[in-house]
Structure 1
Amino acid sequence: MYRKASSSPTPPENFELPFEGKLSQDNRWVIMANLIPWDEFEEEYAKIFSIDMGAPALPFRMALGSLIIKERLGISDRETVEQIKENPYLQYFIGRKHYSNEAPYDASLLVRFRERINVDLVNQINQRMVKKIQEETEEESKKKSSLSERQETRESPNQGKLILDATCAPGDISYPNDLGLLNQARVKTEKIIDTLYKPLKGRLKKKPKTYRNLARKDYLKVAKKRRSSRKERRKAIKKQLKYIKRNLSHIDQLLQTGEALEGLSISQYKSLLVVAEVYRQQQWMYENKAQRIDDRIVSLSQPHIRPIVRGKAGKPVEFGAKLAASVRDGYVFLDRISWDNFNEAGDLKAQIEAFKQHTGVYPESVHVDRIYRNRENRAFCKERGIRISGPPLGRPPANVSSDKKKQALDDEKVRNAIEGKFGISKRRFSLNRVMAKLPHTSQTAIAITFLVMNLSTLLRQFFCLFLCDTQHHAFFLDNY
């Protein structure tokens, strides 16, 4: 059940405090609350819930605001609740009408918020928030600009710069290796056997043998070595595969009784399916002496995570979600996210069309790295009068003019903007290690990062304008 409440920001002076104080309108949380279009997405959020059934859910502003606070401050779910409990500005940001010393909700509800607010909804909010600010800025600039300047802007068919690139958002998993993964799978099967045997104790002659102590010794014998040979690792993997095969056969025999299956929890049943798939993949790679396989599982707790080959210095392979992003006018947008590796060059057309849908015109230039500059993308840009950065295809000319060298240097400087955005998202925010465990909640957490980055950009611009206005006013008073 969902009871729709007004999410429009309450004036700060009307926010009730127990000590009869007032909130400052210059506070960052008050400013950010006025930047986000809460009411525009209230209806879409309400569609998730039933009109008549269930307990009333918390408002959309409280759900999204809590996720923004968590990402902005870089804290855990529990710490987020504690910060909201202690700070009246944070309570105002999530839509409360008055200050309260009590926690607004339990920390576990933040997981539900990430499930309900999916990545598409966050991207829509991000697009709408930036577009709203840009429209207001354009209206102010049109009032100040002359008629001749307006005509010049209308005559140019393409306007703006589009910067594209892709990166990986690593998940919170340990660096995987085949032997360690098989050892974890074996331990899982042993616990499942213990659970299945418990209700059948006394009816069966004896408990199925798992040889867990011997299996652990075989694993540690190689795992504790500082440097083990390839032959030793392969021999240890073979042993672990045999242990898992024996345990899976025991599980099948126990499940044939029909009563034992009821003793498994949902998480244990999912773990059993994951372990069976891990065994199949590792057995195939062992028999074929291969190092890769399609849809390879690298984590038992997060089986959706895939290895993403990046080819970067120091980190040739990362384990997480691959995402394609774009930068327009200093704002960053999440265009695509996938747990499987993909060629980002195939997204260039869709990203250019999204730029046109957002601004109404095609970009004047597209700044990308080498992987985007294939013949198909070059032809697509040429048909629409878009200049794509980088040298042309074919043998480079012997003599390059100074103007072209300067143009190439300027293009690289422009493209550095998206590299800087990725650096900020991984150093200042949580994109370097996504702590969410489920696939859909991880995607929401990644999308929230880009939303908070744009909020920070807007907040910085607001303070710059405020500072400039203050200095201009002081200069006027001093001179007149």
Structure 2
Amino acid sequence: MPAESFELPFEGKLSSDNRWVIMADLIPWTEFESEYSAGFSAEIGAPAKSFRMALGALIIKEKLGISDRETVEQIKENPYLQYFIGMSSYSNKTPFDASMLVHFRERISAELVNNVNQEMVKKMLELASSIDTEKKTEDARELANAALSTEKAAEQGNTLRNRGKLILDATCVPSDISYPTDLNLLNQARKQTERIIDLLYEQIKGILEKKPRTYREIARKDYLEVAKKRRVSQKERRKAIKKQLQYIKRNLSYIDQLIVAGASLKSLTNRQYKMLLVVAEVYRQQLWLYENKKQSIDDRIVSLSQPHIRPIVRGKAGKAVEFGAKLSASYFDGYAFLDHIRWDNFNESGDLKTQIESFKNYTGYYPESVHVDKIYRKRENRSWCKERGIRISGVPLGRPPKNVSKEKKKQALQDERIRNCIEGKFGQAKRRFSLSRVMAKLPHTTLTVIAITFLVMNLSTHLSRFFCAFLCLFWKNRHFLAIDITKHYDFASYRQQKLIFNLA
């Protein structure tokens, strides 16, 4: 639906150069509507919201950096946002409840968002080819024809050479959890077992004469005695951990006794039953760490409410360990793509071949060069890239030569500058958007939030380029005036800048 046909309660029309109207035209809503609606039934339940409304609301939330409730209020007040989510006319009523955003994140998978992101970037590159500006680079002209697939190129008999620069890197996306310590984790696990004992005892209150004694007040006192100290010795910490392990062991045995006496776990909610399983696993892991005097264990749980989160050892300055999902991403021509994401730690160098092949399937040709950090530059990846005529950045393996030419030094410096682009994208995702701390709690909704952030970043990139192109065309029409003014005025002066823009 064009912006001009959007009905307003007052005279007037939506502006076609508004950012939300521009972004709405870029996203391929209709192409993925059938894939989104395939999971719904036409006979059971209330009519589902459209894909444009669901994804559009999530994009608005991420773009503006607001909460779910504020997102609904902004949509209610702004006709441009209502047009963006697919409404045909303005309404002063909320289109859906704030709780629906939770269901939107559950229904839209990260894979679907990535597919939308790829198709959207293709459309952006096609639009970029239609804008003829003097500052268009050679790489932008080549990547603008990315819609041609490898099969079409083969039918035409063209031999495509390597083109473009591909940048690869990995990062960790922290989740919203408190910094985990063994003692604090055991204290939380102990309190959960106490709640479950209370619930199970209520079922057989008349059968048992006395309620199992959990010593919860003494256990809390033992925990606070160590937790409140500014400095705790290793001996004191181990002693406190041992006490909490003993309390949890007693509580778990009480739960077994209550079940034998007639209590049923069916009375527990799904969340409470899952918590019981998590507590049992935490007890097993912490007991093994205590008895073996170790600091790490496979699949270590660091959060009771989010047991899927794992510690990711990154070795960064100030943050040796991060807690969240690890992802590897690719970057070319200003656009970023989410390629691989997992909750467990992995070696990102194993993704290089897959990412390069994905680039070839997307553009129709291999990149001219791949810019990566040291962990990617292993012998296997170097030989694989050499067979395909791809230059991998960085110094060659082996002993460094004594005399390095100026050209090689200049090339290495230029490669590192190019690789900084993806670091800037990670910084943008964590400082401007929500990847510095993901607030979603479920594993699949967290992945969806991360994927939407990459989509919104690409939208922001295109918007900035669109307005830059607009400014270039604006100054091109007034080129004669700009030349005359720059001959007589220095742009470093505020007064002269003001005079120039007033004359323009």
- TM-score (normalizing by structure 1): 0.94
Counterpart position of 2:472: 468
- 2:219: which partner in 1? 215
For residue 18 of structure 2, what is the aligned residue in structure 1? 27
**Correspondence 1:105 to 2:72:** no
User: C-alpha distance in 2, partners of 1:362/1:94?
Assistant: 37
Match of 1:376 in 2: 380
Alignment match of 2:435 (pick from 427, 431, 452): 431
Residues 289, 295 of structure 2: 8 Å contact kept: yes
Partner of 2:53: 62
Alpha-carbon offset, residue 135 of structure 1: 2.9
C-alpha distance in structure 2 between counterparts of 1:42 and 1:170, whole Å: 31
Kept in 1: contact 2:193–2:251 (CA 8 A): yes
Residue type at the aligned position of 2:112: L
Mapping of residues 141-152 of structure 1, within 5 Å:
none
Whether the aligned pair in 2 keeps the contact of 1:197 and 1:260 (CA below 8 Å) is no
Q: Who is 2:244 aligned against? A: 240
**Alpha-carbon distance in 1 for matches of 2:413, 2:318:** 26
Amino acid at match of 1:165: D
Identity %: 72
Structure 2 Cα separation of the partners of residues 54 and 296 of structure 1: 40
Deviations 1:215-246 (A, max 9, x none): 00000000000000000000000000000000
Q: Offset of 1:477 from its aligned partner?
A: 9.7
276, 279, 282: which is aligned to 2:286?
282
Q: CA deviation at 1:107?
A: 0.9
Partner of 2:105: 114
Aligned pairs for 1:108-257 within 5 A: 108-138=99-129, 157-257=161-261
Q: 1:330 aligns with which of 327, 331, 334?
A: 334
Distance (Å, rounded) in 2 between the aligned partners of 1:258 and 1:379: 66
Q: CA deviation at 1:49?
A: 1.1
Letter of the 1:105 partner, please give it: F
Which position in structure 1 is the counterpart of 2:363? 359
CA distance in 2, matches of 1:384, 1:102: 58
CA distance, structure 1, for counterparts of residue 370 and residue 393 of structure 2: 6
> What CA deviation, in whole Å up to 9, does each residue of 1:118-164 have, x standing for no partner?
0100000111100122134346669x999xx99xx977610000000
Distance in 2 between residues matched to 1:477 and 1:431, nearest whole Å: 45
Partner of 1:272: 276
Q: Deviations over 1:187-213 (max 9, x none)?
A: 000011111111211221110110000
Matched to 1:385, the amino acid is G
Mapped to 1, the partners of 2:259 and 2:456 lie a distance apart of 49
Q: Distance in 2 between matches of 1:337 and 1:184?
A: 29
Q: For the structure 1 residues 72 and 478, does the alpha-carbon distance in structure 2 shift closer, same or farther, using more than 3 Å as the test? A: closer
| Alignment CA distance shift 1:449-1:32 (3 Å) | same
Shift in CA distance, 89/213, structure 1 to aligned 2, threshold 3 Å = same
Cα distance 1:53–1:268, how it changes in 2: closer, same or farther (>3 A)? same
1:73 pairs with one of 57, 64, 71:
64
The 5-angstrom pairing of residues 284-363 of structure 1 reads 284-363=288-367
What is the aligned partner in structure 1 of residue 4 from structure 2?
13
**Contact kept? 2:16, 2:22, Cα under 8 Å:** yes
Query: What does residue 394 of structure 1 align with?
Result: 398
Q: Secondary structure at the residue paired with 2:31?
A: helix
**Contact map agreement 2:313 2:320 (CA 8 A) in 1:** yes
Q: Structure 1 CA distance, aligned partners of 2:462 and 2:132?
A: 17
Alpha carbons of structure 1 residues 478 and 138: separation in structure 2 relative to 1, 3 Å: closer
1:441-466 CA distance string (max 9 Å, x none): 00000000000000000111111112
Q: TM-score, length-normalised on structure 2?
A: 0.89
Distance 2:363 2:76 in 1: 41
CA distance in 1, matches of 2:264, 2:309: 31
One-letter amino acid of the counterpart of residue 216, structure 2: R
Q: Which amino acid aligns with 1:351?
A: Q
Deviation readout 1:336-394 (Å, 9 max, x if unpaired): 00000000000000000001001100000000000000000001000000000000000
Q: Which residue of the partner structure matches residue 4 of structure 1?
A: none
User: Any conservation in 1 of the 2:201–2:263 contact (CA below 8 Å)?
Assistant: no
Q: Distance in 1 between matches of 2:281 and 2:127?
A: 54
| Distance in 2 (alpha carbons) for counterparts of 1:401 and 1:145 | 28
- Asked if the contact 2:204–2:262 (Cα under 8 Å) also holds between the matched residues in 1, the reply is no
Task: Supply the distance in 2 between the matched residues of 1:11 and 1:140 (Cα, whole angstroms).
Answer: 21
Distance 2:88 2:362 in 1: 35
Indicate whether 1:408 and 2:399 are aligned. Answer: no
How far the C-alpha of 1:54 sits from its partner, in A, is: 2.1
> How far apart, in 1, do the equivalents of 2:163 and 2:224 lie?
62
The residue matched to 2:316 in structure 1 has which SS? coil
Preserved contact between residue 200 and residue 258 of structure 2 (Cα < 8 Å): yes
Unpaired runs of 5+ residues, structure 2, are: 146-157, 484-504
Post-superposition CA distance 1:239-274 (Å, at most 9, x none): 000000000111111123454323211111010000
**1:472/1:139 Cα in 2 relative to 1: closer, same or farther (>3 Å)?**
closer
Matched AA of 2:464: R
The amino acid across from 1:449 in the alignment is T
**Displacement after TM superposition at 1:474 (Å):** 4.0
In the alignment, the residues of structure 1 paired with residue 404 and residue 199 of structure 2 have an alpha-carbon distance, to the nearest angstrom, of: 73
Give the SS at the match of 2:410. helix
With over 3 angstroms needed to count, the CA separation of the structure-2 counterparts of 1:470 and 1:192, relative to structure 1, is same
Unaligned runs of 5+ in 1: 1-9
1:71-124: CA deviations, max 9, x gaps? 001111111111111111111110111111111111111111111110100000
Q: 1:476 to 1:40 in 2, by over 3 A?
A: farther
Aligned CA distance change for structure 1 residues 478 and 367 (closer, same or farther; 3 Å): closer
Counterparts of 1:65 and 1:476, CA distance in 2: 43
**Distance in 2, Cα, partners of 1:188 & 1:242:** 15
**Structure 1 counterpart of 2:457, which letter?**
M
Distance in 1 between the 2:122 and 2:335 partners? 10
Structure 1 distance, partners of 2:322, 2:137, is 49
Contact 2:325 2:344 (C-alpha < 8 Å) held by counterparts: yes
Alignment partner, residue 46 of structure 1: 37
2: CA distance, partners of 1:302 / 1:145: 46
